[in-house]
Structure formats: C-alpha cells, structure tokens
Structure 1
Amino acid sequence: MPKIVDIDETPNPNARKFLLREPLTWGMAHSYENAEQAQGDALASALFAIPHVSNVFYIDSWLTVTQDGQADWEQLLREIAIPLRAAPAASAQSAAAVFAARASVADLSAEDRQRIDDIERVLDQEIRPYLQGDGGDLHVLGLSGNQLIVHYQGACGTCPSAISGTLQGIENRLRTLEPDIEVVAA
C-alpha cells in the first residue's frame, strides 16, 4: 500500500500532487478525465466516486487529482487519502507492456518516426521533468505534416498556463529542431 510522503500544490489551483513512497506503476501513465474513462481502474474509479474529483493522473510514485473548483481542499485531501492508501503498490510489469504503452504513435514513415523520436527526446529531457514536477505531463498523439498534436495530462490538463504559455514555450523549443513545426493541444 503506497504511503503518502508529501502533498504539493501545483500551478493549477484545482490540482494537488501526491508524492508516494511506493510506486503505483512502473513507467505507465494512467490519465482519466472522467469516471467513464476510469472504468477498470480500481484506484481511479474510487477517486472519481469522491464528489468534485474531475481528473486523475498517475505514474510511478506520484498521483495528481484535479477537482472542479467547488470543494474545500482540506476535506477533499482527507477523502482522497483513503483510496490512495488502500491501493496496491505496483507489481513488476513486463518490459513488453511498458514498451507497448509508449509505442502509441503508429503508422508513420521512417522519416516521421525519426522526427517523433527527436521530438520525444527533447520533451523527455527538457519539458516533461518540469510538467511532472507540477503534477502533469504531455502525451504526443500524432504528427501530421508540420503539426504536432499533444495532449496535456494531470494538473496540466486544466491549467490555463498550460494551454497558453507552456504550449508556446514547447513550440518555441521544438522550432530549434524544426523551424516550421506547430504544436497543437487536443
């Protein structure tokens, strides 16, 4: 059972990041924007059963919960802690399962696959650590011509600065690789 080490505020006032002693997953992100998406995930379903929870995102040893802005954080944090403490820690997952989850951009030419690999390397080294530090993340959904389609997860998904400033910053950084790239959030 994961023990809560700390609870951090995020730049999104409606999201909190829980740091855990034991991992919930080994490299596989779980991101849900509603209870229907969370079906089959016991932890996320239990969290969505709590009034005002509007988003659940977790990976490795941290979890971010976003609320609808109507709840008192002190009370909500106590309610969230119950299913979180009851959740099992991650069991060993096969490398194949982790690889399959990461290999989500399919049907690309060799040239576009290399472009995605270069983009992912920059995101992994320079962008994701900051997003994850704030309780969120970024998932590449696809590449169409010069348009990179991304999806914000966790606290970043509903944070106003993610859609404006952060998206522009990511695009500016990626333009050092590809001057004509446009980054679009879906």
Structure 2
Amino acid sequence: MPKIKEIERTPNPDAMRFVLDEPLTNGVTKSFENPSEAEEDELANALFSIDHVLNVYYVDKYVTVTQDGQAVWSELLRKLAPPIREAKAQLDATEDDEVHATKEVQESDDPRLVQINEMLDDQVRPYLLADGGGLKILGLEGNRLKVHYQGACGTCPTATSGTLYAIESMVKRIDPEIEVVSV
C-alpha cells in the first residue's frame, strides 16, 4: 500500500496531484476520462465512485485527480486519500498502446508525425507530467495536428492557450504549415 508523501496543487485549479512514497506503476501511464473507461482498473474505478471526480491520471509515484469544480478540495481530498492509500502496485502493468498517440499516428509513414511525437516526448510531456498531466496525438489531417490533453491538463485553462501555442511554435519548426488544435 503506497503512502501519500505529498499533495500538490497543479496549474489547473480543478486538479490535485498525489505524490506517493512507492510507485504504482513501473513507468506505465494510465489515463481515464470517465467511469466506463475505468471499469477494469481498481484504483480509477474507486476514485470515479467519488462524487465530482472527472478524470484520473497516474504514472509511477503520481496520481492526478481532476474534479468538476463543484467540490471543496479540503472535503474531496479526505475522500480521495483512502482509495489511493489502498491501491495495489501494478508494477507488471502494460502500457495502453494508445496512451500517447493513436494507432493511426503510430502506424503513419508521415515523417512529420514521427518527429513531432519525438519532440513531444523530449520537450513537452515531461513538463506536463510534472504538472499532473499528459498529451496524446490524435492525428494529422492535412496540416491540422489534433492533440488531446490528459490528466490535469485536460481542463486546465493554460493548456488551451499558452501551452498549446508553445507546442504549435515547436511543431512549426518541423513544418511551418501545421496548425495544432486541442480536442
């Protein structure tokens, strides 16, 4: 059973990140956007059973929970802590093949997508993870790159403005014609 070492605010006022003493996963990212996605995951399912939980995202020693903005954090944290403390480590868990990019993106022969995904892995995803979230590439249609924010980033006001513009300016170094759209 992992102990909660710290509870940290994220840039998203509706998300909190729990820092654990022991890892839940061995580098495997788990992202759940609704209760039906979480049915097979014991921790995410338990967290979604708590009123106001919108999103559960976890990897290694970090669990991020996003709420709907209707709960008082001090009360909600008391409800979230027990299932997190009782969570069993999933050190043999396998990564969802599509957690960072859809199959279509992974199987694409477009060299721009390969470069973009590598750039995101190196320069963007580590920083989003530090803020309790992640980023998934959904596809490139013409010159429109569709991305989806995960975890705390999913409903964060700065994700759809500052962060998105920063990503777009990095992507424009690969192809100046690409427009990045968050969906």
Aligned to 1:91: 91
Is the 2:64–2:132 Cα contact (8 Å) retained in structure 1? Answer: yes
Correspondences of 1:147-158 after superposition (within 5 Å): 147-158=144-155
CA distance in 2 between counterparts of 1:185 and 1:109 reads: 20
1:166 aligns with 2:163: yes
CA distance in 2 between counterparts of 1:143 and 1:60 reads: 30
CA distance in 1 between counterparts of 2:181 and 2:3 reads: 37
Q: Secondary structure at the match of 1:163?
A: helix
Is the 1:105–1:142 Cα contact (8 Å) retained in structure 2? Answer: no
Give the structure-1-normalised TM-score.
0.89
Give a deviation string over 1:103-159, Cα, whole Å, max 9, x none. Answer: 73337443x1x3222111111111112111111110111122222111100111001
Letter in 1 for 2:5: V
Aligned to 2:126: 129
Shift of 1:89: 1.0
Is the 2:30–2:96 Cα contact (8 Å) retained in structure 1? Answer: no
Is the 2:28–2:59 Cα contact (8 Å) retained in structure 1? Answer: yes
Aligned to 1:58: 58
Letter in 1 for 2:103: V
Is the 2:97–2:103 Cα contact (8 Å) retained in structure 1? Answer: no
Aligned to 2:39: 39
Q: Which runs of 5+ in 2 are unaligned?
A: none
Distance 1:100 1:135, change over 3 A: closer
Give a deviation string over 1:158-180, Cα, whole Å, max 9, x none. Answer: 01111122111110111111111
Q: Secondary structure at the match of 1:167?
A: helix
Give a deviation string over 1:31-70, Cα, whole Å, max 9, x none. Answer: 2222122111111111011111111111222111011112
Is the 1:147–1:182 Cα contact (8 Å) retained in structure 2? Answer: yes
Match of 1:116 among 113, 122, 144: 113
Q: Secondary structure at the match of 1:153?
A: strand
CA distance in 2 between counterparts of 1:150 and 1:143 reads: 9
CA RMSD in angstroms comes to 1.9
Number of matched pairs: 181
Question: Percent of aligned positions with the same letter in both sequences?
Answer: 52
CA distance in 1 between counterparts of 2:95 and 2:41 reads: 17
CA distance in 1 between counterparts of 2:23 and 2:48 reads: 20
Shift of 1:26: 2.5
Give the structure-2-normalised TM-score.
0.90
After TM superposition, the structure 1 stretch with the greater mean CA deviation from structure 2, 97-106 or 156-165, is 97-106
Aligned to 2:180: 183
